[in-house]
Amino acid sequence: MKKLFGNFGGGALWGGGTSNPMVGKVIQIQNKAVRVVKQIGEGGFSCIFEVVDVATGDVYALKHLRLGAEQDLLKEVQQEGLVMAKLKNHPNILRLHAMAFAGSPGKETDGFMLLDFCPKTLLDMMQASNFDLDSFFIYEVFSEVCQAVQHMHSQSPPLAHRDLKAENVLKNCAGRWVLCDFGSTTHRAQVYETPAEIAMEEDNVRRATTPAYRAPEMWDLMTRQRIDTKVDIWALGVLLYVLVYGKLPFDGESKLSILFGKYTLPPGKPPVLVGLIKDLLVTDPEQRPNIHQVVARLQGVRDALASDALATPSPPRPSLNAAPTRATPPSTTFPHPSQVSPALQPPPLQPSSHAAAAGASAQGGGPGVASLIGDLADEPRSSQDGGLLISTSPPRGGGPPAAWQPLGSQHSSGAQVAPAAAAAAANAMNVRRSGSGTLATTSQPQMVRQPYPSVPLTPQQQQQQQ
């Protein structure tokens, strides 16, 4: 099963987590000196290491990218850094702390990205459960990934991740699920008309996307459909299918099945999750919901799952007058977003304070894109760790935007982040987050047993009692 999802194991390239020549070295990344502990993962032209800050003992992940002095690769890595700088401080986005390059200017051979250390991956936890996940765990993972995607799609212009998949979902030390790997992210959104445009985009799609998660419009650009953030909605549908069923809906090479949306839905899964899968895996991108509609539906998904968990039907009581009847369960079918009346549609997304802060950061008010561009292009370089030429100056700019607060938490002023209605609904359902991060119930509803109705005694029974 791991081969099906790809190789994200530890240390396979050098035959083990401690045999990489980088292990044991101290590397200076801007204002942080870190010691490489072991290799924990690898990609196409990169390796991931666990590192420790020499001064503080804090643990980070170090992404080492082998550039080989190729300018195209250098630009891609720089672009990934710019995207992560723009998205920083969202709780469900992997955080970039520092970035530097080795080699002379214009001929950089290596790139280094210092990231939050994430001790667990979604794929590892799926394997540990034998790919049979609890419904509340599925909700937790999927909802937090959707929050990250919503943050990306809310940028101006919107950013499409274009490589959403189980391998790119990690769990950080704070217990949050975070989205990683932004090398495929783009703000391009267009219909590709000319043969030259189509050929160039087909090459981008082949290099930067995963076939099993690739949207139909990306398989056949000759259909002249718009390629935009809706490709992420399709990938979210594939991810949700993987979480629910423990397998991919489409074979990675099954182009026709993807183009025609042919997949199976084995029975026995929560209808509310199955219905959401159906609405996300729509072949026509114009008929797919946008990410704001998806997030708006997630509250209903949680309510339905909590209602099912709290439902404890008692066995039918014997009746003297009629056969026992069984209540009909409530319907959990959700209408497609295009069928919802305008009055029920979620309101248009308003620019939030964190989005505004990110925009201000990009304009120079914080360590945003403009500041990072300066860091990458203008900062002095010095020789560190055996001749590696990397940037050692701290990033310029002001402080980061205000940190995001978890749903239902308190700001420093004491203001409640979650709407009062949502908090009241959660209290009414007696739902909380357990220590493992999954939803659980705080109490079971009390069952009140009613006495059987009294029945008049027959004359014979009355005579016997006398």
Mean pLDDT check: name the lowest of 31-35, 80-84, 250-254. 250-254
Residue 349 included in any domain? no
Examine the pLDDT at 250 and tell me if it is beyond 80.
Answer: yes
CA proximity to 85, closest of 360, 355, 367, 363:
367
Q: Residue positions in the annotated binding site?
A: 63
CA proximity to 134, closest of 295, 306, 275:
306
80 and 199, same domain (yes or no)? no
pTM over the 0.85 mark: no
User: What is the per-residue pLDDT for 434?
Assistant: 38
Q: For residue range 103-121, list pLDDT tens digits in order.
A: 888 888 999 999 999 999 9
Residue 160: which CATH number? 1.10.510.10
Residue 444 included in any domain? no
Residue 217 included in any domain? yes
186 and 100, same domain (yes or no)? no
Highest mean pLDDT among 92-101, 196-205, 255-264: 92-101
The owner of tokens 């940037």 is: 391
228 and 214, same domain (yes or no)? yes
Residue 403 included in any domain? no
110, 116, 163, 232: the catalytic one is 163
User: What is the per-residue pLDDT for 401?
Assistant: 35
User: What is the per-residue pLDDT for 371?
Assistant: 34
Percentage, residues of the chain above pLDDT 70 = 62
Split into its structural domains, the chain has a count of 2
79 and 126, same domain (yes or no)? no
Residue 352 included in any domain? no
354 burial level (CB within 10 Å; 0-12, 13-18, 19+) = middle
Spatial contact of 9 and 48, defined as CB atoms under 8 Å apart? no
74 and 217, same domain (yes or no)? no
DSSP 213: G
Q: For residue range 349-390, list pLDDT tens digits in order.
A: 444 343 333 343 333 333 333 333 333 333 333 333 333 333
Angle between helices 135-153 and 291-310 in degrees, nearest 10: 160
User: What is the per-residue pLDDT for 115?
Assistant: 97
63 and 181, same domain (yes or no)? no
Residue 383 included in any domain? yes
Residue 189 included in any domain? yes
Residue 41: which CATH number? 3.30.200.20
* 3-class DSSP assignment, residue 429: coil
Mean pLDDT check: name the lowest of 244-258, 416-430, 452-466. 416-430
The boundaries of the domain holding residue 214 are: 121-310+331-344
151 and 271, same domain (yes or no)? yes
Q: For residue range 385-439, list pLDDT tens digits in order.
A: 333 333 333 333 443 333 333 333 333 333 333 344 444 434 433 333 333 333 3
Examine the pLDDT at 193 and tell me if it is beyond 50.
Answer: yes
User: What is the per-residue pLDDT for 222?
Assistant: 87
Q: Which amino acid is at 211?
A: P
Active site residue 163: yes
Examine the pLDDT at 67 and tell me if it is beyond 50.
Answer: yes
91 and 201, same domain (yes or no)? no
Q: Residue positions in the annotated binding site for ATP?
A: 63
- Residue 307 structure tokens: 């209602």
Examine the pLDDT at 336 and tell me if it is beyond 90.
Answer: no
User: What is the per-residue pLDDT for 446?
Assistant: 37
How would residue 314 be classed by pLDDT, with cut points 50, 70 and 90? Answer: very low
Distance of alpha carbon 232 from alpha carbon 236, whole angstroms:
6
- Residue 242 structure tokens: 């993987």
47 and 95, same domain (yes or no)? yes
Residue 258 included in any domain? yes
Distance of alpha carbon 346 from alpha carbon 344, whole angstroms:
6
Instruction: Write down the mean pLDDT value for the chain.
Output: 73
227 contact partners, CB below 8 Å, separation of at least 6 = 188, 189, 190, 191, 192, 201, 217, 218, 221
Spatial contact of 261 and 278, defined as CB atoms under 8 Å apart? no
* 3-class DSSP assignment, residue 21: coil
293 and 256, same domain (yes or no)? yes
77 and 91, same domain (yes or no)? yes
State how beta strands 177-179 and 120-121 pair: unpaired
Q: What average pLDDT does range 139-157 have in this prediction?
A: 97
86 and 162, same domain (yes or no)? no
Q: What average pLDDT does range 19-42 have in this prediction?
A: 91
Q: What average pLDDT does range 53-61 have in this prediction?
A: 96
Distance of alpha carbon 340 from alpha carbon 350, whole angstroms:
21
25: alpha, beta or left? (left if phi > 0; alpha if psi -120 to 50): beta
